[in-house]
Structure 1
Amino acid sequence: MSLYLQHGYGKSTRITDAYADGSTSGVVFSPRNEKKDNLDAYIAQLRATGSFTLMMDPQFHICTQTPPKDSYLPKDYGYYQPGLTAHNFTKAAQIQGYAADTLDFQYAMDLDRILSPTVILSTFSDRWIQIAHQLAEASVAHHAGMSSPKPLMLSFVLCETALDSRTEVDQFLDELTTYDVDGFYICIVRDEATYTQHFDPDRLAHLMYATYVLGELNDFEVVFGYSDYLGLPLRAAGATAFASGWSQSLRQCHAGTFIKVDRMGRRPLFRYSSGPLLNTILLSELEQIHSFGRLNDVLSNVALDREIISASSPESSSWNERFSERHHWQTLADLDSTLGSNVRKNMVALRTRVAQAQSLYQDLESIGIRFSRNCDKSHLPEWEEAITEFVRIASP
């Protein structure tokens, strides 16, 4: 099972429900959203529930954001220091201290992986890239001196724009493959703040290539946070696992994920995750599909579909936010289960799924069904182009 849950505010029974469904085998904790004592107690609860892979994203990178959206971090997590600038990383002793404090804090917790601190990278050529590598190097050195520590994964938080240049991605990979670590935890900060499966095809191809180099060619553990549906092409290219949460801000991250902004909050409309469409669609759009007699074509064929098919129509069903969340994870887990360890075969299977999804979208649109912008088929040609480019440059 390669789907991990991205923990955040309002966990309730969401994680244990997903585990009971067989949808997840791991959790990436968010310390900013949980008091330390509560997190320790919850980890103990999960240990008693079943076999999880548990890790905590230190979220150290939030310390350089202004104003930071850091909640419990400053008070409950001693390694975190808000308001840091590039000036605070000029001395080796400072960097070594940040790394040691972050790793020691996790060492004392019942986690399966220890993750390094990092900073957010807009490109692979600005001054922050050197700081990120210095934090990584300090983490490797400190981890080597710890007594029987859990495996170390180096964290990197990359803005989507950092993936523009293949040359710079290659240079970055040259650095990463020299580290004596067990793996990497990577988060991609999306350009677009809305929840969407869109991704520039060249950037996605470069990210898939990086995944292939790290996971397949160099046998590192590679986990992608906040990746949602885009975790599927990354898994196909060699990633170990990918994470997705319950809210849209836990499924993908963008600049607003880490910075306080004033905006009116509103509850998202109910959605349905369609495996055949490789997308989430609005319940109202599922209702349209039902009215044309095409409901079975878009169903994911997972357990919670029963809530839809047992009703006279999708909108008259008992579908709610919690059903939508659990169904989403069931769908992602089902799609992930079709991927194996052979990257070449994965690409063939994924390309076929993308082509089938495009054909289904076109068929539905031809009979008059209209999808909203972030629920339509426009991401699929991007995925198709990315797969083609990845196969060209990687030759798996």
Structure 2
Amino acid sequence: MRAWKRPVIPSVPGRAGAPWLHDTATDGLVEARPRDVARLYVCGITPYDATHLGHAATYLAFDTLQRVWLDAGFRVHYAQNVTDVDDPLLERATATGVDWRELAESQVELFRTDMEALGIIPPNDYVAVTEVIGEVAAAVSQLRDAGLAYPVETPDAVPGADGVIGSDLYFDIEAAESQTDWRLGDESNLDRNTMLALFAERGGDPDRAGKRDPLDPLLWRAARAGEPQWASRVGAGRPGWHIECSVIALKELGTDFTVQGGGSDLVFPHHDMSAGHAAALSGHPLAGVYSHTGMVAYQGEKMSKSLGNLVLVSGLRSQGTDPRAIRLALLAQHYRTNWAWTEPLLHAAEHRLARYRAAFSAATAEGAAPTGVASAASVVERVRECLNDDLDTPATLSVLDSAADSGVDDPALVALAINALLGVDVLAT
């Protein structure tokens, strides 16, 4: 699948080290130092109601991580999926009377446009689930053959193209724990009661009759009337949610990749289960660090598709909002915090953009004299220190605010660093 145009990322004199990043699995800071290439997987959108500010905040956080890695001299290999066939998408398509393929295609294109406008670094591998149905089915077959997947009676299943009526297939958590080093909860650190509650809220089916464990997740959904289906070695049907990311990540990045990222609402069940599937398929951990962004609220509730309380990037852009101001508004919040979007936050970001443009554009003309007393090199060094400390963008902006107030001896150098490390080109017209 096509991604979007990559922004130009300038090189800044000097170099930082590998960043320290909060790891959900250990609940502590760890050095996100690649062994070779920095390999990053961030879970992508289910393409409807794109792109709200919760989406944007997540992808901006991991865009910042990539920029820090690049500044440290590492190469980056970034993969992202698109869940372009899933129950929520099909439900929205039915409710709006739009073909699910057309809905997915239009929303993915909107997402691309928004990401490019915001200057987000695109993935090297941008993979739709519908592009890897065969690989997912093969993985499910492998798990079934290893005794790690089992069928559950499915009365509403219908014959596939071959006339065979299949059954839903589920992942056997207990069997996987007995055959691998993975344990349910390794990534989330949640107790079972909390898991059961979240599983029911986030697409799971703990009350499904015939399952060996209420928390066992769906691997393959047998064909149903009126639903998309694909012929496969495990019967006609379509993938479950978690297995798709396991397969795409293993295919594009391999095992033990550097960072698995996403919103905090994916910690359980999605990332716990994806890690379990990957361990069962490969015999290795999925990722070294599990990093998660906080939730963005609006009007007193978490911004979500189900509630409909969305602030869309495209909506702000259509009102004439500078995408650089949107970036600065998001960067003013630490990526791990839960926070609420308000109009004053955007106004403050617009003001900050104007300040940076005035402060760091003054000495760009050839022969211009220094305009301030602070050392630009020291400012850049402090910016790097803040970003290496768990991507502390609020502290970074505070450093830049002080530099804008005092003036610096080389404004062009600071402007270059803001562009490279924060993705905000203050010199652009």
Same fold, TM exceeding 0.5?
A: no
Q: TM-score, normalised by structure 1?
A: 0.29
Q: TM-score, normalised by structure 2?
A: 0.28
**Structure with more helix by fraction:** 1
Higher relative contact order (CA closer than 8 Å, sequence separation 6+): 2
